[in-house]
Amino acid sequence: MASEVKVPTLGESVTEATIGEWLKNPGDPVAVDEPIASLETDKVAIEVPSPVAGVMGEQAVAVGDTVEVGALIATIEDGVAQAGPETTKPRENPSEAPAEQAKDAAPAAAKDAGSDATQTLSPAVRRAVLEHGVDPSTIKGSGKDGRLTKEDVIAAAKAKGDAPAAKPSPAPAVAAASAVPAGERREERVKMTRMRQTIAKRLKGAQENAALLTTFNDVDMSAVIEARTKYKDLFAKKHDIRLGFMGFFAKAACLALKDVPSVNAYIEGDEIVYHDFVDISVAVSAPNGLVVPVIRDADQKGFARIEQDIADYGKRAKEGSLTMDDMKGGTFTISNGGVFGSLMSTPIINPPQSAVLGLHRIEDRAVVVNGEIVIRPMMYIALSYDHRLIDGREAVTALKIIKEAIEDPTRMLIDL
């Protein structure tokens, strides 16, 4: 008897999703609660678990199809996977396979292996494999259930470039790519994922609906760097988490948002919604695009809890295991382009929020302090805001409070 696998409830106001990839093929053994497919929604990728143990049956929909909540996507058959008839046929000499059978089995096995490898790689990972010319079978995946991520491929390519030259092992996919004549120009068309389509729509909508403006300042990071250097080992020992820069900026932002409430508010119709709490959305890079999980009640949390939340979100974003609830709400956003080397940017707000703080890379620059030219570790920070709600004076004041708190972290302890 077959058990049906249906699209689960996806979250508030989310009624449909796209089949991102099949994690199990017909005939594969499946354990109870083992993921068999990945669904892409407007915000996250969600894995669909098997309700029972058995054998993967029919796939009722294909990769790329749009499915609604409650729709049938697959069946799970009773029993366990069985070997093919040729492999179970008794032989007079068990230690020796007939020549013809062995001859036919090798290409079939290679074909199956190639097919499985292709189907278990997401489109982004497949493109990275081709671009960097690496053999995916030699890379250990860091994603959920050991699956490869784009970052794994890039790291492997970098390691390959640093390693001494060696005789390459056969890699059919890479060989096919390298067979393209030198100098030939190619193009590839890949359908946008549902998440990427939504990101594009929301960001364009933010530009069209909000009166966006950005104000800048620069921050001397000396005090924060000194504090991290002095306390990072004790902090890690006590809290089992690394002390990063984001915790400082999150707490500094909380001070600013309390003093300038409009930066922590948003427009809804003809009303302004103010919040007496601070839920900070933190922009995190995930395999399928940028996601913004929320650190709830950041104003009530200490550095350790904030850093733990950020580390957990970063890990789950890479694995693709963030949930809709993780990204629901948020009153203010912090985006750190500095981790990718950005010197300066004008970030776009995350609707319906009215402001976003952009962080950038730290670099030594010559600055004037008390009439003398000195070298200090400096960072440009940017606050993009909706000018319909936030006046220039308020935006500049909020960014100045953040700057002062970072340059003198004691302010965060005594609420100045």
For CA atoms 322, 204, 64, 124, give the dihedral sign.
Answer: negative
Q: Rounded distance, CA 264 to CA 393, Å?
A: 15
Catalytic residue among 78, 297, 387, 408: 387
Q: Which residue(s) pair with 280 in the sheet?
A: 295, 332
Span between the terminal Cα atoms of the chain, in Å:
67
129 contacts 121 by C-beta, under 8 angstroms: yes
What's the token pair of residue 214?
Answer: 């950005």
Would you tell me how many other CB atoms lie within 10 Å of the CB of residue 271? Answer: 8
In the residue annotation, 28 being an active-site residue is answered as: no
Give the CA count within 13 Å in the CB-facing half-sphere of 341. 0
Catalytic residue among 104, 112, 297, 391: 391
Q: Rounded distance, CA 356 to CA 203, Å?
A: 13
For CA atoms 169, 171, 172, 177, give the dihedral sign.
Answer: negative
Looking at residue 132, its amino acid is H
Please provide residue 221's backbone torsions phi and psi, each rounded to the nearest 5 degrees: -90, 10
**By C-alpha distance, which of 331, 341, 321, 315 is closest to 262?**
331
Q: Which residue(s) pair with 59 in the sheet?
A: 74
> Between β-strands 266-268 and 271-273, what pairing exists: parallel, antiparallel or unpaired?
antiparallel
What's the token pair of residue 232?
Answer: 């990072």
235 contacts 304 by C-beta, under 8 angstroms: yes
In the residue annotation, 387 being an active-site residue is answered as: yes
Q: Which residue(s) pair with 289 in the sheet?
A: 286
Alpha-carbon distances of 281 from 221, 253, 274, 327, 378, rounded to whole Å: 23, 12, 16, 8, 24
Please count the residues of the chain: 416
Q: Could you say which DSSP state residue 339 is in? A: G
Report whether the peptide linkage leading into residue 26 is cis, meaning its omega lies within 30 degrees of zero.
Answer: no
Q: Rounded distance, CA 77 to CA 58, Å?
A: 9
Q: Could you say which DSSP state residue 316 is in? A: H
Catalytic residues: 387, 391
